[in-house]
Each structure stands twice: as structure tokens, then as C-alpha cells.
Amino acid sequence: MARIISGTAISGTLRAEIAARAEALRAEGTVPGLAVILVGGDPASTVYVRRKEEACEAVGIEGRTLRLPESINRDELFGVIDGLNADPTVHGILVQLPLPDGLPYKAVLERIHPAKDVDGFHPLNVGRAFIADSRGFVPATPAGIMELLKREQIPTHGRHVVIVGRSLIVSKPLASLLMAPGPNATVTLTHRHTVDLASHTRMADILIVAVGKPGLITADMVKPGATVIDVGVNRIDDEGTGGTRIVGDVDFDAVSEVASAITPVPGGVGPMTITMLLRNTVDAAERSARRRASMQGKPSTTQ
């Protein structure tokens, strides 16, 4: 039976570390600040934003949510972002996706200053992640997966990692992180349309699945002893209760009998995502404090 990798437990440890760093910043006169822009009233987005507000409060980050009408146009939204870019009390800016129809989300994300792009979606930060430049911000989910592997002491050096999925916010940056000096993994990037997908997944020492299709990965598609990281979040009907439940992309019960370690859904990768967003925000605040101290000719104790 596979060992369960608890993102909930690891996230708790990380948040304690983040809170300590935030407190150190406050002692120096810097209050870490995260501004979240919510356009319209999408129910799921509203729930996600509320969770981020609660998470910020718990670790000592000043969370600010700007709730904007669905009728806002591009130039008005740009104006809001420009104001936050210029605000020294705001260290991180996040635009909650999806945006209403008619708003160009790529242009909106590019409007955020790269130094405040704690989501890691600005092209400059995407490029920096690709070349393993630590000055950039890595998207929260890939960063969370890397932290899970590190904290669970799952070796990546020379190991074969197969990623199922090709998204710009999870799979592609994750492949770059895993291949970088340090992790030194060999990475195969696949997707649901890959011919004979199982022939690739069965070669994986570490199998990471981020597609959004429940039950895509079955036990016969997993190498015995592999580590399986399930990023999928799918809501399906629950015949037992008549309601719904959340499952991943992996047939958890069956694959647990084959793998050596596996993340559950929920409770695996999910809790890590907001946590890594918090860490990026504190990183941004520390960088801001160092820049300010340098301009004033003062030493800073933040690292």
C-alpha cells in the first residue's frame, strides 16, 4: 500500500515558516501585502478569494480584495492594476481567473509588474522559471509540487519523471523546474492525446498527472514502486450520497496498491497552492525591503 503524501500536513509546516518570516518583516517596518482583484461574481472564484483572504490573515499578510463589477472595461481594469503597481504597501498582485468575457486575460496579466506578479504568470517570470532564474516567481502549483517532493525526500536526480498534461501554469513550468540543475530529472511531457499514453506512464519513476479527467490513470499504467502526484480536481456525482465529491485524475484506490507514494485528492497538491502563493508574497515583500534598505544605505536582516 502506498505511503500517503499529505499536502495538508506539509502546508501547515510551511505556513508556520511563512508566518515567522512575515513577523520578521513587520519587526523591520514592512507589512507584507497581497492585493487580489476579483472581477464579477463567479461563485467558485468568490470562494477561492475568500480562502486566500483567510490564509493571508493566518500568516500575517495584509490581504486586500478589490471586488470590481463585471461591466468594467479593459482600460479601467488596467488603471486599477497600475495603481497597485505604484502602491509601495502592495507587494503581490493577483487577478483571479477566469475573467468575464471581453477582458483579454493575457494582456491583463502582463499589466502586472513582474516584481509583484506572485502568481508567476507574467511572460518575464515564465521565462525566468524556464531558465531557473531565482529572480522570478514560479506559479504556485508547480512550486508546491517541487516542495512536496523535497519535503518527502523523494529523489529526482537522474530519475525519469513523466508529466501528463501540457498547461502553461502547471505542466510546462514544472518540467523546466525538474530538469534544472539541482533536481536533474529526465522529463517526458505528455498529454491525454499522446498515442499509447500508458507506454510512457509505465516508465515513470515519478508520475505527475494534471489533466482534469477523472480516472484517467489506472493501476496498469503505473510502474510498481513509482511516486504518483495527482494534480487533478474533478467534481463528480456521488451515488452514495446523491451529491457530488472531488476526485483526481488518478484511480486512487487501485493505484495505491501499486505506487510507493501517492497524493490524495483532496488533501494533496491542493493545499500547497495557496501556501506557495503566500510564500511568493513574502518573498516579494523581502525583496522590496532589501531594495528600500539599499536605497537608504541601511542594512536589512531579511534574507
Average pLDDT over every residue of 276-282: 98
In order of start, what are the domains of the chain with their CATH numbers? Answer: 27-113 (3.40.50.10860), 140-270 (3.40.50.720)
> C-alpha cell of 51?
480562502
3-state SS track over 176-196 = HHHHCCCCCCEEEEECCCCCC
Distance CA 7, CA 272 (A): 6
> C-alpha cell of 85?
503597481
- 109-137 confidence digits (pLDDT tens): 999 999 999 999 999 999 998 888 888 99
Contact 157, 184 (CB under 8 A): yes
Given a cut of 90, whether residue 13 has pLDDT beyond it is yes
Q: Catalytic residue numbers?
A: 52, 96, 119
- 203-230 confidence digits (pLDDT tens): 999 999 999 999 999 999 999 999 999 9
When pLDDT is cut at 50, 70 and 90, the band that residue 107 belongs to is very high
Cross-strand pairs, 161: 187, 206
> C-alpha cell of 74?
479593459
Given a cut of 70, whether residue 142 has pLDDT beyond it is yes
Q: What residues contact residue 103 under an 8 Å CB cut-off, 6+ apart?
A: 39, 72, 73, 74, 77
Distance CA 210, CA 230 (A): 7
When pLDDT is cut at 50, 70 and 90, the band that residue 301 belongs to is low
Neighbours of 262 (CB within 10 A): 25
- 175-200 confidence digits (pLDDT tens): 999 999 999 999 999 987 899 999 99
Residue 131's pLDDT is 86
Rounded (5°) CA angle 47-53-55: 105
Percent of the chain surpassing pLDDT 70: 98
